[in-house]
């Protein structure tokens, strides 16, 4: 048993020590041993529509600039002036061929070169003109741009392992390429960041935490099919990535856009998908999915749309969250309206789901003040029995925690053995061109 994880296969029992959620030394070590080592989500290429567009955001505590140069190529910079450190860009977003540091006025092009230094005759002839600094690695998969501060990190596609399959299931939902809608949700939670990671793939909490939501849905006349809703599996995707995957058309329960149930437009899109991809892959597409890409990227394709959520640790008991909506641009206005409405009213910081979750996580964090008296949280659900764990069990969290523990302690805990899930959850993508890196 490590100081953090009690993974006892005989019992069977899996417990997480709450010290992991409160200890500043653990927090500092996570920065060094996890966030400085792995691939981290920066943003989606479609957030930058034109040459010289840029966004600023933090990754692993570092202010970053995510932009396109004058030719439209993706560029990623550390938002720190190589002169004496002022942040070169203090705007959240914009379009600029040049950025001028407000401290002493050094100017940089959108491809990162230093192009003007006020009073530069007072520097010697050998003065090296430093450009903007980049993270060690930048790569993308199907439009999702990742960076790493570790020059020796494995290739992104290897790192993503089985998660590529589930990114493909989302990317394939548009002929034109899925696009991020302008605008974000930004909110903070007074809780450790790992609690939201757990919550994002926690099917167990839905009915009790979100009771009001289900009551509201039923009051609106929608018949919730309990058998279909329970039809989901938890999968270990490798490298700490994990997913709850719904069976065919589980996504359609709420009348969501990606469902054959409903309007002619939805049916027409499905017919086209079936012609292109075949039934097995399209049946998977029509299911729901809640995925965590280790350590802190969440992609949820559930209810009325696809939410991309980046979780940023700020201190042991505080996190910041940014969320975006990913849509197929070719969809009609009414489906777009429904997706955006749901993004706001369900997933938004004042919506039907997120405040319930935030309340749950913040009470966990407050209670962790007694972590010495009550040190262990139980995450064992679904360890017993021969069947494949369902989405309401806790294999997802154990998968993620084992990877976390490996980075933090060096201790390798083998994956759990379960029966393979039914083929409908794992049918391979037909042999079409793979999703390409596009950065």
* CA dihedral for 392, 44, 354, 351, sign (positive or negative): negative
Please identify, using beta-carbon distances, which residue of 89 and 293 lies nearer to ligand FES. Answer: 89
Please identify, using beta-carbon distances, which residue of 78 and 308 lies nearer to ligand FES. Answer: 78
Q: Which of 13, 19, 29, 83 binds ligand FES (CB under 6 A)?
A: 83
Taking residues 70 to 99 in sequence order and writing x for each that binds Fe ion by CB under 5 A, - otherwise, the string is ------------------------------
Cβ atoms of residues 202 and 208 within 8 Å: no
84 binds ligand FES (CB under 6 A): yes
> Is residue 278 left, alpha or beta, with left meaning phi > 0 and alpha meaning psi from -120 to 50?
left
**Binding piece for ligand FES, criterion CB under 6 A, among 76-84, 272-280, 297-305, 335-343:** 76-84
Taking residues 171 to 200 in sequence order and writing x for each that binds ligand FES by CB under 6 A, - otherwise, the string is ------------------------------
Taking residues 351 to 380 in sequence order and writing x for each that binds Fe ion by CB under 5 A, - otherwise, the string is ------x-----------------------
Q: In the numeric block, which tokens belong to residue 30?
A: 């996570």
* Residue 300, CA distances (Å) to 46, 78, 234, 288 in order: 18, 29, 14, 8
Task: Residue 106: name its binding partner from ligand FES, Fe ion, none (Cβ under 5 to 8 Å by kind).
Answer: ligand FES
Q: How far is the CB of 56 from ligand FES (least distance, A)?
A: 15
**From CA 260, how far away is CA 267, in angstroms rounded?**
5
Q: Using alpha carbons, select from 192, 206, 193, 194 the residue that is nearest to residue 244.
A: 206
Size of site (CB under 5 A) for Fe ion: 1
Task: Residue 104: name its binding partner from Fe ion, ligand FES, none (Cβ under 5 to 8 Å by kind).
Answer: ligand FES
Q: How far is the CB of 381 from Fe ion (least distance, A)?
A: 16
Q: In the numeric block, which tokens belong to residue 228?
A: 């279909």
Task: Residue 27: name its binding partner from ligand FES, Fe ion, none (Cβ under 5 to 8 Å by kind).
Answer: none
* CA dihedral for 242, 246, 248, 252, sign (positive or negative): negative
Task: Residue 84: name its binding partner from Fe ion, ligand FES, none (Cβ under 5 to 8 Å by kind).
Answer: ligand FES
Peptide bond into 360 cis (omega under 30): no
Question: What does the DSSP assignment read for 262-294?
Answer: S-HHHHHHHHHHHHHH-HHHHHHHTS-EEEEET
Q: How far is the CB of 105 from ligand FES (least distance, A)?
A: 6
Task: Residue 81: name its binding partner from Fe ion, ligand FES, none (Cβ under 5 to 8 Å by kind).
Answer: ligand FES
Taking residues 101 to 120 in sequence order and writing x for each that binds ligand FES by CB under 6 A, - otherwise, the string is x-xxxx--------------
**From CA 431, how far away is CA 415, in angstroms rounded?**
29
Q: How far is the CB of 84 from ligand FES (least distance, A)?
A: 4
Burial 210-226 (b: 16+ CB within 10 A, else e): beebbeebeeeeeeeee
Beta-carbon contacts of residue 269 (< 8 Å; ≥ 6 apart): 331
Q: Using alpha carbons, select from 358, 350, 266 the residue that is nearest to residue 304.
A: 266
Task: Residue 357: name its binding partner from Fe ion, ligand FES, none (Cβ under 5 to 8 Å by kind).
Answer: Fe ion
Please identify, using beta-carbon distances, which residue of 81 and 201 lies nearer to ligand FES. Answer: 81
Please identify, using beta-carbon distances, which residue of 236 and 357 lies nearer to Fe ion. Answer: 357
Q: To which H or E segment does residue 159 belong?
A: helix 156-160
Size of site (CB under 6 A) for ligand FES: 10
Q: How far is the CB of 199 from Fe ion (least distance, A)?
A: 6
For residue 74, what are the β-bridge partners? 68
139 binds Fe ion (CB under 5 A): no
Q: In the numeric block, which tokens belong to residue 285?
A: 């597409």
Residues within the interface to Fe ion (CB under 5 A): 357
Residues within the interface to ligand FES (CB under 6 A): 81, 83-86, 101, 103-106
């Amino acid at each position: 048993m490590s100081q953090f994880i009690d993974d006892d296969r005989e019992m069977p029992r899996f417990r997480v020590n709450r010290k992991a959620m409160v200890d500043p030394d653990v927090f500092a070590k996570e920065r060094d041993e996890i966030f400085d080592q792995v691939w981290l989500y920066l943003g989606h290429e479609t957030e930058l529509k034109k040459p010289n567009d840029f966004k600023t955001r933090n990754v692993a505590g570092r202010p970053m600039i995510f932009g396109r140069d004058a030719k439209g190529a993706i560029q990623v910079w550390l938002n720190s002036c190589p002169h004496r450190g002022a942040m070169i860009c203090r705007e959240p977003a914009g379009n600029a061929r040049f950025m001028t540091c407000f401290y002493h006025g050094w100017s940089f092009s959108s491809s990162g070169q230093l192009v003007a230094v006020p009073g530069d005759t007072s520097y010697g002839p050998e003065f090296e003109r430093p450009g903007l600094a980049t993270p060690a690695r930048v790569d993308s998969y199907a439009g999702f741009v990742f960076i790493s501060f570790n020059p020796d990190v494995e290739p992104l596609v290897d790192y993503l392992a089985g998660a590529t399959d589930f990114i493909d299931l989302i990317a394939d939902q548009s002929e034109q390429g899925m696009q991020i809608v302008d605008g974000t949700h930004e909110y903070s939670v007074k809780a450790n960041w790992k609690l939201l990671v757990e919550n994002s793939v926690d099917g167990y909490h839905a009915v009790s935490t979100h009771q009001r939501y289900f009551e509201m849905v039923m009051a609106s006349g929608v018949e919730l099919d309990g058998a279909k809703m329970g039809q989901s599996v938890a999968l270990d995707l490798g490298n700490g990535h994990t997913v709850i995957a719904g069976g065919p058309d589980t996504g359609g329960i709420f009348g969501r856009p990606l469902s054959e149930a409903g309007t002619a437009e939805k049916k027409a899109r499905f017919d086209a998908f079936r012609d292109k991809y075949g039934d097995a892959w399209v049946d998977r597409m029509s299911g729901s999915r809640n995925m965590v890409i280790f350590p802190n990227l969440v992609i949820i394709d559930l209810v009325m749309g696809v939410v991309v959520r980046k979780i940023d640790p700020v201190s042991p008991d505080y996190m910041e969250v940014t969320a975006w909506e990913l849509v197929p641009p070719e969809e009609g206005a009414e489906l777009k309206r429904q997706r955006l409405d749901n993004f706001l009213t369900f997933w938004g910081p004042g919506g039907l789901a997120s405040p319930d979750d935030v309340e749950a996580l913040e009470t966990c964090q407050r209670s962790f003040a007694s972590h010495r008296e009550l040190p262990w949280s139980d995450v064992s659900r679904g360890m017993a029995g021969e069947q494949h764990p369902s989405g309401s069990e806790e294999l997802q969290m154990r998968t993620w925690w084992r990877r976390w523990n490996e980075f933090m302690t060096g201790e390798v805990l083998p994956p759990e053995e379960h029966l393979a899930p039914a083929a409908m959850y794992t049918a391979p993508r037909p042999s079409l061109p793979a999703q390409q890196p596009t950065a």
